[in-house]
Chains A and B, each alone.
Chain A
Amino acid sequence: MKYSSEYRDAGAAQGYAQEIRRITTKPWTIMEICGGQTHAIVKFGLDELLPKEIELVHGPGCPVCVTPLELIDKAVQIAQRKDVIFCSFGDMLRVPGSEVDLFGIKARGGDVRILYSPLDALKIAKENPTKQVVFFAVGFETTAPAHAMAVYQARQQGIKNFSVLVSHVLVPPAMEAILGSDSNRVQGFLAAGHVCAIMGYDEYIPIAARYKVPIVVTGFEPLDILQGIAMCVAQLEEGRYVVENQYTRAVPEGGNRAAQHYVKEVFCVVNRKWRGIGEIGASGLSLRPEYAEFDAELRFDVSGYTAEESPLCISGLIMQGQKKPHECSAFGKQCTPEKPLGAPMVSNEGACAAYYRYRRAELAAAGKV
């Protein structure tokens, strides 16, 4: 398939692997930010192609994984109301809340729908004027523009029965939280290509300089990732630490200005709780006061609710690159995709799910789980 098969070429992959082996002289720990990259690495076995000196650790870039438990509980509380049509991206439905997930609410008769675009939720709101239509607006900078557009259009069109439950998070503050931690092991980053396609990469330049870490904006296909690793290792070996762009076919330096405009129009930067990690200052987005009428937390009066996470789940350590999924005592035992303790075991992009799906048998054979 065009734009995909050429980035999965075996010969070229071996070529990049060889180049990485050639330039590597010391051990390096590199974090890929995005869960999509984690899955590509594990699915295609890219780490098997690397020299043993290179360790890849998996970052916090999975929107499903970092959405705090209490927000899932709030979603559940709203979704079980008789007057609500609760709309969400598919991944979120299996994420466990304190008692039940959204699939459970659907099984109990709640009107929970999987959508591909928040704009479809607006259409549903127009078609169901007697119902309250709520969209679960989770994600990083990648999904923020579409959510902003839905809220913007709702106001333009005077759609009163539409609201969003917002849990937006931002990548750069999370990177700074990881780098600023005493136990940090990360020496270089592969930044998430899709996030940068929206935001550009200006905001990474001061981070690279302040913490002296190379940051390579990287795509998601096997060759993208191998090339990103090669660029990152080259910088580490040469003692350089700048922002470079591997994903030039999708990421212009300034990002997508129109998308950024709508994000700024509708959202403002706030402190956010990250599941398993805790609160990070200025790390999320919330609706601006002018758009407060579309805030589902206010509309359904769930803003005061809080919840405690399972002490068994070490997802926070995994998403900060301090532990690998199979180093968790619950991995594959109390925690499986059928009965997950934490979101990383659920999501298409979760590190635990990636290890469970692609590595479990090998780990078991090696006596590691």
Chain B
Amino acid sequence: MIPELGHFALILALCAAIVQAIFPLVGAQRGIASWINVTRPAAQLQFLMLAISYACLTHAFIVHDFSVLYVANTSNSQLPLLYRISGVWGAHEGSLLLWALILALWTAAVCWFSRGVPKAMVARVIGVMGLISIGFLLFILLTSNPFERLFPVPPDGRDLNPLLQDPGLAIHPPMLYLGYVGFSVAFAFAIAALLSGKLDSAWARWMRPWTNIAWMFLTIGIALGSWWAYYELGWGGWWFWDPVENASFMPWIVGTALIHSLAATEKRGAFKSWTVLLAVLAFSLSLLGTFLVRSGVLTSVHAFATDPARGVFILGFLVVVIGGSLVLYALRGPKIISTGGYGWVSREAGLLFNNVLLVVVCATILLGTLYPLALDALGMGKISVGPPYFNSVFVPLTVPLALMVGVGALARWKKDNLIGILRRLGWAAGLSLLGAFTLPYAMGEFDWSAALGIGLGLWVALGTAQGFIERLRHRKNKLAALGQLPGAFWGMSVAHLGIAMFAVGVALTSVYSVEKDLRMAPNEQYEIDEYRFTFEGVKQVMGPNYRASRGFVRVDNLDGAPVTELHSEKRIYLVQSNAMTEAGIDAGFTRDLYVALGEPLGGGSWSLRLYHKPFVRWIWYGSALMALGGLIAASDRRYRQFARRAARERGDHAAVTA
């Protein structure tokens, strides 16, 4: 009964989405106030219905209702409660329902937090989001109904993919979707602006916090995925340039460009049509990511649920949404007039340079991701493009990008002079070079990549510090002044520091990591750098739904002082008889020690993988700082003050402007 209720609520949500799309859009275009007033109730109704529907599916998981096909396929009576809740998005149907729910949540959030925005604009934004929602709800109802029943009812379910039975991965998809779907708000604002022709700095200001928050979630989602891959896949890597990883990385890059371009649009009225295009692209790439993951067009380690029949639907949807918005862009784009000229040395020029680089980076990743598909489509054989391509194109492009981060934020709007900027940053350049050529020696031996990473990291960090220095120079009470700096500045600075940390982490980890594949008998020892690893043998243990061989490895310093005790497990999940590795990790600020248990080799010996990974954690600390920066920037007082003032000025009887 409850699953049918969920199904019914889903259908009602579709009806609400149709109302939410048609009335506000037509109402805003024709200036019919009563139609515009439908916006908020329709959006809230859609959210309510999807929440009910989602709750019904979760209920089916919690009570082990194996008469629901989806539950029978992705759950099991032995599955712990946490993974029954996260199992809802453990496969295709449920993750789409989560996608739709999150879209409705973003829509409702726009309703709640945009009191200061003209009603007609809100109506258009919500209407566009309604159109997207219609597509996704149709997709779910027509091809991927999560509430389908199964008869006869199986005695037990086929269990959740063991890869997904992990706390990190349990929250990875929701974060990622919050980011993907969050870009729909920026997208909807862009389409609304194209429809109304109203593209001013107020428009950019409304859009900025939404874009920042979506970008923050996407950052968290990607970082979680990378962290998970690091400790769960058992080979110690943190990024594989897998097509699905790329699919999440591309919207992130374009989203980053969008955030920066929005700044110029808001402050200076520059790059207007470019900003609109980026907003369309960021969300289009999110949809493309969904297509690549869900259609089976590309193979990857992530191909959990693929079905070409569904691919046809998504492709059609992509053509309508992306194609439609690009047609609109081609028609209306030429009418957008950017104001505010700027010189070659100015904040605008810096942002433009940053944007061009980011888009080029995104294009190279898109090319590498789709190249195998293109060759295959042309009948030229199967190839795969791997890390060698991506690393060799990605790294050279990020170097000028990082160099610009330090400079760009210090340049003045409109016009600045290059000599002046360089003079202000002379000390930072000197220190960065000094650090680049000395600090690698502290890691053991000098290496050019490490020097580059450290130098760029220092440059970005010191450039950010210079920003603080300049803002506080003429203030008496520096500490109080620090608190008064705008959230936007704080957010930018924190995020840039995150980039610095990230760059250092990536460089040092890739240069100085030591990894050894070993055959070890019990009590055998092996030394890596300043650590001595002792294999203490393997015990058999039982988990709730798996049995495991747990290997014990003691780590001491070379002088015998104990450092840590690591456990790595080789788990066999009983239902699907899948083998999984749980790495044993001793996490530290400046280094990780990492052990992965391999195969038994007879006589108590096992194959073991031992790693010493310096500064690997800085990759995720850096990502966390970037996400935090996005949050701080979005919470800038300015956005709220402006919203309140606008609401006061217009009163509650806002005139409808078409």
- Decide whether A and B assemble into one complex: no
